[in-house]
């Protein structure tokens, strides 16, 4: 485990540690196998881009977006817990310390490997039974402004994270479910230090302060909490106690569910329709993973309702079908020539994504099988559209994988934000990649206290804004990802496990990775995979590389990270280029020899720990 030296850590945290009675087990947990100690680490990293060292471990490793969350997973693994046990502890602490990104009010996708089989668990939010394609249209039939739709009761989908974790824990858990909530409960009761990133998110957020529960909690005296402030969350501690004892039903039924429904239906401006029946009826799903051969590897990821794996693998497949770029990296950053082919591949892949992908319970795969979108001869045909000059903004049109009979309309472009990624490998040979979200930063900006009447609580997602706001396109064709009752919105989340390729078979585990970042998750993941698997960079070097994205229109390069000549060269090739912040939150763990090497995104507060 590589952290600041113990003496330095103690110095940084002396006041917190003294205040927190370090090392006392939780009441009622003294006889159990796992007892949680509040760690001698703090979110001392700044919210500015921070150089990360990369972390070598021998037996197990956990990577998450906040040091306290990573540490909770580390303590679970050290106590003999499995990867899924650790993921539960990490997720609950993330809910507390990185509330803007994920939690029990949201949804998640988990790719799990138990040493033999790969399984995918779907905890994506579902649309309530009473909604239809007009959910985000105003009286005139025009789509609502994005933020108005997001910060409302309309956008709240039935949460799925807890049901999903419970399903995976039943199959792969080692430690008792109830023990895995101890870190989050303890930190919620005793208090934790607000991290720079949370403080910055609170300061930059306009609508959260209007929420009757979140306003006074995160903006005491009207001012946002500052980094380093100690925050307790008694309502969340109480809710998690109930979940620890009663399982996911403590959220989906009873008083906590009742409170959730009241808050959604009671939203002052735009109430939603979510009911107790919607909550009680939610089920996590185990789906067949998509495992796709690429070069010397097999990459396993999430099928629809995520567009992640299909779009990542379309990009990688198109790149593979094109002649190899001679110098993909120049002076430590991706070259103009490589970026051009990458961006053209992304244009083509996003055109298909916008046409074909939606919840498979509602949308048939092209040709009856999603793998039609990844067929090598189809991608080779798509690669023929890549030329010296860019297809330009809006120039890439969808193809026709699987000779699709139904004519879907094209999905309009909409923003997505927020989210967190967790990668874990345990000592028993399990590995997982889990991306978890409440969609935007602070989700629907509705905080629920579970009916406890205590300060704090958890935030409800705005995942339904991942549906198309308009049910049909300008030609009147239905959009695959339109709102429908009970449907799960299309996602970009791309949790990925990489394996060696043994012929067409899956061999040993090579890596686990994923990222937040809205639709750009796909670019961040695809480029990091190329960097690690094709260019031979280690996990940290790969995550450090600057980003370039396009959803089919303008190209955005990460602010200040590429030479001016690259911007000019891409513009000459017909890309509409500008620079902006591109705040990924990648986490990756690679298998290296007998051990592991983990990387965390320099753009966020994540760290890796392990022994
Ligand atoms: N809601 C988005 C999705 O599921 C993720 C948002 C984000 O990562 O920023 O694809």
Q: What is the pLDDT of residues 541-551, one digit of tens each?
A: 999 999 999 99
Mutate to test the pocket of ligand 1, among 418, 420, 487, 495 (most ligand atoms within 8 A of CB): 418
Instruction: Using the mean position of ligand 1's atoms as its centre, give its distance from the Cα of residue 464 in Å.
Output: 11
Number of the ligand 1 atom closest to the C-alpha atom of 307: 10
pLDDT in the model for residue 50? 77
pLDDT in the model for residue 420? 97
* pLDDT value at 1 more than 80: no
- Cα separation of 76 and 67, whole Å? 14
* pLDDT value at 313 more than 50: yes
Q: How far apart are the first and last CA of the chain?
A: 5
Number of the ligand 1 atom closest to the C-alpha atom of 493: 10
Q: For the chain, what percentages of helix, strand and coil (3-state, to nearest 5) are there? A: 35, 20, 45
Mutate to test the pocket of ligand 1, among 123, 302, 492 (most ligand atoms within 8 A of CB): 492
Q: Which helix (H) or strand (E) holds 191?
A: none
* pLDDT value at 574 more than 70: yes
The share of the chain scoring above pLDDT 70, in percent, equals: 91
Instruction: Using the mean position of ligand 1's atoms as its centre, give its distance from the Cα of residue 247 in Å.
Output: 26
Three-state secondary-structure class, residue 274: coil
- Cα separation of 362 and 502, whole Å? 35
> What's the chain's average pLDDT?
92
The CA angle 274-278-281, to the nearest 5 degrees, is 170
Phi and psi torsions of 579, nearest 5°: -110, 150
Instruction: Using the mean position of ligand 1's atoms as its centre, give its distance from the Cα of residue 518 in Å.
Output: 4
- Cα separation of 417 and 525, whole Å? 15
pLDDT in the model for residue 38? 87
Q: Which helix (H) or strand (E) holds 101?
A: none
Q: Give the range among 48-57, 122-131, 401-410 with minimum mean pLDDT.
A: 401-410
How confident is the model over 391-407, as a mean pLDDT?
Answer: 79
406 is catalytic: no
Residue in 57, 70, 273, 419 annotated catalytic: 419
Ligand 1 lining (C-beta closer than 6 Å): 416-419, 437, 439, 463, 466, 491-493, 516-518, 521
pLDDT in the model for residue 414? 56
More confident residue, 408 or 294: 294
Number of the ligand 1 atom closest to the C-alpha atom of 439: 1
How confident is the model over 114-130, as a mean pLDDT?
Answer: 98
pLDDT in the model for residue 413? 59
Instruction: Using the mean position of ligand 1's atoms as its centre, give its distance from the Cα of residue 155 in Å.
Output: 14
- Cα separation of 348 and 482, whole Å? 21
Going by alpha carbons, the residue nearest to atom 1 of ligand 1 is 439
Going by alpha carbons, the residue nearest to atom 4 of ligand 1 is 491
3-state secondary structure 228-269: CCEECCHHHHHHHHHHHHHCCHHHHCHHHHHHHHHHHHCCCC
Number of the ligand 1 atom closest to the C-alpha atom of 489: 4
Instruction: Using the mean position of ligand 1's atoms as its centre, give its distance from the Cα of residue 366 in Å.
Output: 24
Q: Model confidence over 512-527: pLDDT tens digits? A: 999 999 999 999 999 9
Instruction: Using the mean position of ligand 1's atoms as its centre, give its distance from the Cα of residue 310 in Å.
Output: 16
Cα Rg of the chain (Å, integer):
23
* pLDDT value at 346 more than 70: yes
Q: Model confidence over 6-45: pLDDT tens digits? A: 333 333 333 333 333 333 333 333 344 789 998 876 544 4
């Amino acid at each position: 485990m590589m952290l600041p030296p113990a003496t330095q850590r103690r110095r940084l945290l002396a006041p917190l540690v003294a205040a927190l009675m370090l090392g006392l087990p939780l009441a009622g947990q003294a006889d159990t196998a796992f007892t949680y100690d509040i760690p001698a680490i703090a979110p001392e990293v700044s919210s500015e881009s921070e150089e990360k060292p990369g972390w070598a471990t021998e037996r197990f490793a956990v990577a998450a977006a906040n040091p306290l969350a990573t540490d909770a997973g580390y303590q679970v693994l050290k106590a003999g817990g499995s990867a899924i046990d650790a993921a539960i502890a990490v997720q609950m602490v993330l809910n507390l310390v990185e509330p803007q990104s994920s939690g029990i009010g949201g949804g998640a996708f988990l790719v799990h490997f138990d040493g033999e089989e790969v399984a995918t668990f779907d905890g994506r939010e579902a649309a309530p039974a009473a909604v239809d394609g007009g959910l985000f249209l105003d009286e005139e039939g025009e789509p609502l402004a994005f933020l108005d739709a997001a910060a409302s009761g309309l956008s709240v989908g039935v949460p799925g994270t807890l049901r999903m974790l419970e399903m995976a824990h039943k199959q792969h858990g080692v430690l008792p479910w109830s023990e895995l909530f101890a870190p989050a409960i303890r930190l919620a009761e005793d208090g934790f230090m607000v991290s720079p990133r949370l403080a910055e998110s609170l300061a930059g957020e306009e609508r959260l302060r209007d929420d009757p529960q979140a306003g006074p909690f995160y903006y005491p005296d009207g001012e946002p909490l500052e980094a380093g402030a100690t925050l307790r969350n008694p309502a969340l501690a109480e809710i998690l106690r109930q979940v620890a004892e009663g399982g996911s039903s403590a959220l989906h039924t009873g008083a906590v569910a009742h409170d959730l429904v009241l808050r959604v239906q009671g939203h002052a401006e735009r109430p939603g329709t979510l009911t107790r029946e919607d909550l009680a009826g939610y089920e996590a799903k185990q789906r067949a993973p998509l495992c796709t051969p690429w070069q010397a590897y097999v990459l396993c990821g999430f099928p629809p309702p995520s567009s992640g794996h299909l779009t990542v693998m379309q990009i990688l497949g198109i790149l593979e079908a094109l002649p190899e770029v001679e110098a993909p990296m120049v002076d430590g950053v991706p070259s103009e020539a490589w970026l051009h082919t990458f961006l053209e591949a992304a244009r083509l892949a996003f055109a298909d994504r916008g046409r074909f992908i939606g919840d498979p319970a509602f949308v048939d795969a092209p040709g009856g099988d999603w793998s039609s979108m990844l067929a090598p001869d189809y991608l080779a045909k798509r690669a023929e559209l890549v030329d010296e000059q860019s297809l330009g903004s809006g120039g890439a049109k969808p193809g026709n994988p699987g000779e699709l009979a139904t004519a879907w309309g094209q999905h309009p472009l909409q923003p997505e934000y927020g989210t967190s990624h967790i990668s874990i490998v345990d000592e028993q040979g399990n590995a997982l990649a889990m991306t978890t979200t409440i969609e935007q930063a602070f989700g629907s900006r509705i905080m629920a206290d579970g009916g406890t009447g205590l300060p704090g609580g958890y935030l409800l997602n705005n995942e339904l804004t991942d549906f198309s706001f308009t049910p049909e396109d300008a030609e009147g064709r239905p959009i695959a990802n339109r709102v429908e009752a009970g449907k799960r919105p299309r996602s970009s989340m791309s949790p990925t496990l990489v394996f060696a390729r043994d012929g067409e078979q899956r061999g040993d585990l090579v890596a686990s990775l994923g990222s937040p970042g809205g639709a750009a998750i796909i670019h961040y993941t695809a480029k990091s995979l190329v960097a690690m698997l094709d260019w031979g960079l280690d996990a940290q070097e790969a995550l450090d590389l600057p980003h370039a994205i396009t959803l089919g229109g303008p190209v955005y390069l990460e602010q200040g990270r590429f030479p001016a000549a690259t911007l000019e060269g891409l513009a000459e090739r017909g890309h509409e280029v500008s620079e902006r912040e591109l705040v990924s939150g990648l986490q990756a763990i690679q298998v290296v020899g007998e051990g592991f090497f983990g990387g965390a995104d320099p753009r966020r507060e994540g760290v890796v720990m392990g022994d």
